[in-house]
Structure 1
């Protein structure tokens, strides 16, 4: 019998500049258009603040600023992907959310050397499919322990 690790794995594909990233569908609560963001003082520059998501105060992180040190320029394509990581709900601002696709776990390769070292620590691996390269993010690493604590404090 095939092990679960080799079965299809559904991921949400999103864009940061010209790169396509992917995160597991089971970590995603919803994908939202940009909502009004209330700034929270004394937080990291990529922590944009909080949104009121259907009555729930949800912290929001600019993923491009976190990974590439460039703030997102908001437009009609900009989305907030609501993710749940270890009992913490966070919104990730991305340039656009493109697809839901299936990937085979055994097609995940290690990060190539061409990926910048500032991003590499957050990457689980890469997948090449249909002339596209998807960078798989490790959401737990994207949200360091101290950031998870900061987000917990903002929640409440």
Structure 2
């Protein structure tokens, strides 16, 4: 029986978040983002990773309504969801850890529709890590359907 969950821990602002490893394709340095006009403010543009075009989302913009400040630690986590694959900009992709099932607490905030993508909180000794469900995140973002259609039309070209 599986008693641990493997997650990629990353930093946005001063807080730690995580996505389960089965959603993570890769962690990349931030390079070659092509801006696309008229997209929602949280979309920084598109990027080509391993031959696939991906929309790039700024997690700091989504969570805190401020643009990410690029530095040497800034990373793009390539994440696959049911709808589409995305690149997520984070301040730092820190580590891959195993979290015991007993350390995961369900969030009362999941009922709040603006944070429905927070699936649980890992309550570790000296830190709290918010676990994000990328599929729910993508579904909750305004304008994502249009971005999906745009990406599909450009994949076929």
Unpaired runs of 5+ residues, structure 2, are: none
- What is the TM-score when the length of structure 2 is the normalising length? 0.85
* Paired residues, number: 150
2-structure distance, mates of 1:84, 1:17? 23
1-structure distance, mates of 2:102, 2:149? 35
Deviation at 1:121, TM superposition (A): 2.5
2-structure distance, mates of 1:152, 1:102? 36
Look up the match of 1:126: 121
Look up the match of 1:154: 151
- What is the TM-score when the length of structure 1 is the normalising length? 0.86
Deviation at 1:99, TM superposition (A): 0.7
- Where does structure 1 differ by over 6 angstroms across 4 or more consecutive aligned residues? none
Look up the match of 2:62: 66
- Map of 1:76-91 to 2, 5 A cutoff? 76-86=72-82, 88-91=84-87
Q: Which residue of 21, 36, 39 maps to 1:43?
A: 39
Unpaired runs of 5+ residues, structure 1, are: none
